[in-house]
Amino acid sequence: MRKSMRTTFNELVQQNKKEIMQDEKAIETIEARLDERHEQEASQSTH
């Protein structure tokens, strides 16, 4: 039996990045989450 080729972690990360960059909705979702986090951090630092 032949040993299957395993994908390295870095290869998986690069593959995921490529897929996300091609998915406009995923980009918008990520940007919205980042905006929410920045707003939360800004409001916590002012209190």
Q: Which residues contact 26 (CB under 8 A, 6 or more apart)?
A: 20
DSSP 8-class letter at 6: P
Write the pLDDT tens digit of every residue in 6-24: 889 999 999 999 999 999 9
Write out the two tokens for 25.
């909705």
Can you tell me whether residue 8 is helix, strand or coil? Answer: coil
Domain borders along the chain are 11-45
Say how far apart CA 11 and CA 45 lie, in whole Å.
37
Say how far apart CA 23 and CA 35 lie, in whole Å.
19
Does the pTM of the predicted model rise above 0.75? no
What pLDDT was estimated at residue 46? 72
